[in-house]
A and B are shown apart, each in its own frame.
Chain A
Amino acid sequence: MSSVGSALDTFPKLARANAERLARQVAIREKDLGIWQAYTWRDYFERSRRIALGLASLGFARGDKTATVGDNRPELYWAALATQALGGVPVPLYQDSSEKELAYIVDHAEARFAVAEDQEQVDKLLHVRAQCPRLEFIVYEDPRGLRAYSEPGLLSLAELEERGEKFALGHPAYFDDEVARGRAEDTAVICYTSGTTGAPKGAMLSYRNLIEMARIATDREGLRRDDEALAYLPMAWVGDHMLSYAQAIVAGFVINCPESAATVLSDLKEIGPTYFFAPPRIWENLLTNVMIRVEDAAWPKRKLIHFFLDLAQALERRRLNGQPRPWLPRLLAPLGQLLVYGPLRDNLGMRRIRTAYTAGEAIGPEIFVFFRALGINVKQLYGMTEASVFVAVQKDGDVRLDTVGTPMPQVEIKISEAGEVLFRSPGVFQGYFKNPEATRQTLEDGWIHSGDAGFLDAAGHLKIIDRAKDLGRLADGTMFAPKYLENKLKFSQFVKEAVTLGPGRPYVTALINIDLGAVGNWAERRGIAYTSYTDLSQKPEVYDLIQQEVVRVNRSLAAEDEVLRGARIRKFLILHKELDPDDEEITRTRKVRRGHVAQKYAALIEALYGDRDRVAVEAQVTYEDGRTGTIRADVAIKEVV
């Protein structure tokens, strides 16, 4: 190491090296006005530099925080780099957060600066600023609708960069000096975890955490400079920060920002990424989309597709279980490749994928098998914000259905007495911002308590059963894993969300959310008329449809798992409204908040354990603009025989 300043131990230093080494290589693309606009690594670094100087001209001091909020836009990634260049800490926020949620984090993180995508976010931030006076400056990227605003401290990114240019004239060495002062142990980012319980916690990750884990993962997965990835997951999620920011800078691959949230699927097709990261939710959506279209196809096509999909899934299932594969299907597979798998892969925009992950939650095995059967190398990843994402990943060629793979290099895993998964790695975070209490609970002697129940099998694969605290027993002592059952239910294209109940109860019951797209399509094809989500959800035909799914889950439970087979679902009901983050029933990353649900639907739950077959219910709903209303419905309860 020649001098401390020249070591590539922070993102600004790495990005500067990319700007020199890969000056003309594309770093990031954004679809804007219908065209994929490309920015090279030189543009990437140069724009970040200008933004940094603009921030400096406003009096940005080392240690200041910049909240960033909006869809995935190059400018927001640059704002993060600019903040880091000045020794500050970016705090990415969820773009669909309510004002209240934003206010909590902006206040807790002590953000002095905010960079927002557009008017929608600026309006929220202006309200937030009224409660959090520490927030001084709000910078926006898209000036549309904001020209008439005259609030102090509100300026456009273009104005900020202009100020930066002027500032640089008077302080030519300022930027380079500030970059050189960055250290590996500095906090690089604070990622607020959405938290299924209690207030969000801000996990502090250092440059060392992120850069080392990014390097480890890049090496193990063989990521290259010519890889392409789609940046479409919320920037506030550590997964996007790792992949679209940390790994992209470390490995130098190309990030593509979709045109808008509504165009992600067609943009995916246009880009054809080679490296893809999606939570199970997205894989489920993709599968549902495919299946709806298959069902709409003409009869011979439909039969053909079903035949080859079933064939491939049977083969893949045997392969994942290490069983021998019969010769006839193997012989037919190339034909399926030509007629079904190849075209389908292409249609999904996944023809070029070399590595794809599913992470964030357990994926339904059927969904996982479906995509693998198509020849898409999707692998399970087990990770946490507090670990800089990577803990365990399935290795290429060593993928199994029921495990999340082997630990990443330099990651140690052990199982506590209580069955909880503990680990330590170079990615272990610095602690929660201003929350030593929570840090103490999670981090013990360098080991992180994951809160997940699981075990390492004989081959060293990690198997996660459930959240440690969710794992429960029925009144008679039968083991019950709610998430496990819910994922089985959610495999059905008709089930959007499911909440199972059981601990301390005589039997297992389920609250189910139907998928409006799939069930609506199914109902239309059968000539079942409905007026609204609530109406559709309570149709007897829909209940029959869902009952079949519940029976299927019970059957597969009995066949697959000895420990959990006692916990079959006895009764279920279909909720009359969708679980919604605005009603605090699920988190922004779509994890069910059991506590809230149990409280809100207490009457329904009691009825599930009573002997009534109908129950009247009233639920408060919050519309996107914050107004509230009430939905009343008469919900049916069905017993599964």
Chain B
Amino acid sequence: MSEPAPPGPLLEVDGVSVRFGALLALNRVSLTIPRGEICAIIGPNGAGKTTLLNCISGFYHPYEGRIVFAGGERTHLSPPDVARLGIARTFQNVALFRGMSVLDNIMTGRVLKMRGSFLLDALWWGPARRQELAHRAVVERIIDFLEIQAIRKTPAGRLPYGLQKRVELARALAAEPQLLLLDEPMAGMNVEEKEDMCRFVLDVNSEFGTTIALIEHDMGVVMDISDHVVVLDYGRTIADGPPEQVRKDEAVLNAYLGVAHD
């Protein structure tokens, strides 16, 4: 899935700040994600985790600091441009096309890779047909990978929540991203669904070499699957390191145990 890559980390966030009116949502946050790593971003509610993902994926633009992806500065790109560079994401609240089948939903993940003319597509002829078959083949591999064959033709809106999350992951994978941003992929799932999702995240990482940044609240999951953990609190990075180290960090314990801030 990934071409020979330039050296250096895949993503560098350097001193990024985001302000909503008077609220400083991110305050000079820096983090580095090396290629092939699973990085967890944790922190209490309102710590700025989703804001950080939104900055990386181009929904928000920081007023200071910079974001470097695959060796180039990408601080002020729009979401489609970010997607074209190889960053795909899922959302905290599932954002699927509810009336469309699972297959079609995943196919939309390929849109940026489709080339073609309106006429040829309408006639479904020649290159247009070949192109669709090729995209469909990629999508089928993902369906097989995430074990959702049985719901291929089911409208996404009819699926239980856990499966919708999985379909969202499938759609993100369909873009063949270098960096996958997962916003609470396991929220609202039962134990079994969580275990399945963990396995899929690990498999995506090992099978396709995809670098993954995920926001997650379940500490068990975070400690089990991530290579490194970044802890945010009140828009600041308060810890950054391997899970064992972060687990013992005093600032993190304070943030989670609710020590008063002044």
Contact A145 B141 (CB under 8 A): no
- Measured between beta carbons, the chain A residues less than 8 angstroms from B202 are 145
* B203 adjacent to A266 (CB under 8 Å): no
CB–CB A263/B203 < 8 A: no
Q: From known contacts A262-B149, A262-B150, A263-B150, infer whether A34 and B206 are also in contact, taking CB-CB under 8 Å.
A: no
Question: Could you say which of A33, A145, A625 contacts B207, with CB atoms under 8 Å apart?
Answer: A145
> What's the nearest-Cβ distance from chain A to residue B23, in Å?
40
Contact flags A26-44 to B (C-beta < 8 A → 1, else 0): 0000001111000000000
Residues of B within 8 A of A259 (CB): 149-150
Q: Which residues of B contact A148 (CB under 8 A)?
A: 206
A213-228: contact bitstring with B at CB < 8 Å (1 yes, 0 no)? 0000000000000000
Tell me how far the C-beta of A535 lies from the nearest C-beta in chain B, rounded to whole angstroms: 16
- Whether A144 lies near B203 (C-beta < 8 A) is yes
Q: Does B145 contact A (CB under 8 A)?
A: yes
Interface residues of B in 25-63 (CB under 8 A from A): none
Q: Given the complex of chains A and B, what is the CA–CA distance between A89 and B57 in angstroms?
A: 57
* Alpha-carbon distance between A34 and B150 when the two chains are bound, in angstroms: 10
Contact string against B for A residues 43-62, beta-carbon threshold 8 Å, 1 for contact and 0 otherwise: 00000000000000000000
Pairwise interchain contact A33-B144, C-beta atoms closer than 8 A: yes
A147 CA / B137 CA spacing, docked (Å): 22
Give the residues from 269 to 298 in chain A that come closer than 8 angstroms, CB to CB, to chain B: none
State in angstroms the CA–CA spacing of A624 and B202 once bound together.
20
Of B141, B150, B207, which one neighbours A266 at CB under 8 angstroms? B150
Prevailing SS type, chain A contact patch: loop
Identify which of B136, B137, B206 contacts A145 (C-beta below 8 A): B206
Find chain B residues with CB under 8 A from A263 CB.
149-150
Query: Chain A contacts of B145 at CB under 8 A?
Result: 144
Closest residue of chain A to B136, judged by CB?
A: A34
How many angstroms between the C-alpha atoms of A147 and B202 in the bound complex?
12
Counting CB contacts under 8 A, is A620 at the interface? no
Cα A144 to Cα B141 with chains together (Å): 12
Cross-chain contact A260 with B149 (CB below 8 angstroms): yes
Residues of B contacting A: mostly: helix
User: Is there an interface contact between A34 and B147, defined as CB atoms closer than 8 Å?
Assistant: no
CB distance from A261 to the nearest CB of B (A): 9
Chain B residues lying within 8 Å of A262, measured Cβ to Cβ, are 149-150
B195 cross-chain contacts in A, Cβ below 8 A: 625
Cβ of B87 under 8 Å from chain A: no
Contact string, B186-213, partner A, CB cutoff 8 A, digits 1/0?
0000001001000100110011000000
Residue-wise interface mask of A (600-641) relative to B, using a CB-CB cutoff of 8 A (1 in contact, 0 not): 000000000000000000000000110000000000000000
The complex places the Cα of A260 from the Cα of B192 at a distance, in Å, of 19
Closest chain A residue to B200, Cβ basis: A145
B227 on the interface (CB 8 Å rule)? no
CA of A32 to CA of B144, assembled, Å: 8
Chain B CB within 10 Å — which of A34, A35, A145, A266 has the most?
A34
Whole-angstrom distance between the Cβ of A146 and the nearest chain B Cβ: 10
**Do B140 and A34 touch across chains, with their CB atoms under 8 A apart?**
yes
Bound form: Cα–Cα A465–B212 in Å: 61
Taking CB atoms and an 8 Å cut-off, the chain B residues in 163-221 that contact chain A are: 192, 195, 199, 202-203, 206-207
**Cα A145 to Cα B206 with chains together (Å):** 7
Q: Which residue of A lies closest to B150 (CB)?
A: A262
Contact status B149-A147, CB under 8 Å: no
**A260 touching B206, Cβ below 8 Å:** no
- Whether B107 sits at the interface, judged by CB under 8 Å, is no
Residues in chain B near residue A625, CB distance under 8 A:
195
User: In B131-151, which residues have CB < 8 Å from any A CB?
Assistant: 136-137, 140-141, 143-145, 147, 149-150
Most buried by A among B136, B141, B149, B199: B149
B interface footprint on A104-145 (CB within 8 Å = 1, 0 otherwise): 000000000000000000000000000000000000000011
In chain A, what residue has the closest Cβ to B145? Answer: A144
Min CB distance A341 to B, Å, is 26
The contact string, 1 if C-beta is below 8 Å from chain B, for chain A 241-262, is 0000000000000000001101
Q: Does B152 contact A (CB under 8 A)?
A: yes
A75 nearest CB across to chain B (Å): 15
CB distance from B154 to the nearest CB of A (A): 10
Taking a contact as CB atoms under 8 Å apart, the answer to whether A34 and B207 are in contact is no
Cross-chain contact of B152 among A32, A34, A144, A624 (Cβ < 8 A): A34
Q: Name the residue of chain A whose CB is nearest to the CB of B144.
A: A33
Contact of B149 among A34, A145, A624 (CB under 8 A): A34
Interfacial chain B residues near A34, Cβ < 8 Å: 136, 140, 143, 149, 152
CB distance from B129 to the nearest CB of A (A): 16
- Rounded to whole angstroms, the CA-CA distance of A533 and B190 in the bound complex is 16
**Chain B contacts for A35, CB-based, 8 A:** 140
Query: Which residues of chain A are within 8 angstroms of B150 by Cβ–Cβ distance?
Result: 259-260, 262-263, 266
Q: Which of B141, B147, B207 contacts A147 (CB 8 A)?
A: B207
A147 and B206 contacting across the interface, CB-CB below 8 Å? yes
Across-interface contacts of B207 in A (CB, < 8 A)? 144-145, 147
26 A-B pairs (CB sep. < 8 Å): A32-B144, A33-B137, A33-B140, A33-B143, A33-B144, A34-B140, A34-B143, A34-B152, A35-B140, A144-B145, A144-B207, A145-B199, A145-B202, A145-B203, A145-B207, A147-B206, A148-B206, A259-B149, A259-B150, A260-B147, A260-B149, A262-B149, A263-B149, A266-B150, A624-B192, A625-B195
A residues with CB within 8 A of B: 32-35, 144-145, 147-148, 259-260, 262-263, 266, 624-625
The 3 closest A-B pairs by CB, nearest first: A262-B150, A33-B140, A34-B140
Extra contacts, 5 of them, besides A33-B141, A145-B206 (Cβ < 8 A), are A144-B207, A147-B206, A147-B207, A262-B150, A625-B195
